[in-house]
Amino acid sequence: MAETLDDTAVAERLRGLPAWARDGDAIRRQVKAPSFLAGIDVVTDVARAAEDADHHPDIDIRWRTLTFTLSTHSAGGITAKDFDLAGKIDEIAARHGAG
């Protein structure tokens, strides 16, 4: 099981992912896709990356606005796995022109 990060470590890791913010025991980012279908493409690519990592985000889709929330539920908080997937989500969003 992954080990949760303390507040200092979470704050430090968030400095490297400026689009993400802490929300309690999770980190969250919202992106706006250029179109609804582009947003669905982002979600599809994130789903594949999540399956590969065996770590799955909560995803909220509101037309072109996508909200990703990451927390390691099995550990009861934020772990390195959340930051690893957050970085991949950033790459995927950028590749699809979502920001």
With vertex at residue 74, the alpha carbon angle to CA 68 and CA 79, rounded to the nearest 5 degrees, is 60
Q: Token match 């990356």: residue?
A: 49
Low-confidence ranges of the chain (pLDDT < 70): 1
The pLDDT of residue 9:
97
**pTM, whole model, 2 decimals?**
0.95
The pLDDT of residue 1:
64
The pLDDT of residue 2:
82
Q: Evaluate whether 91 touches 25 at the Cβ level (below 8 Å).
A: no
The pLDDT of residue 46:
98
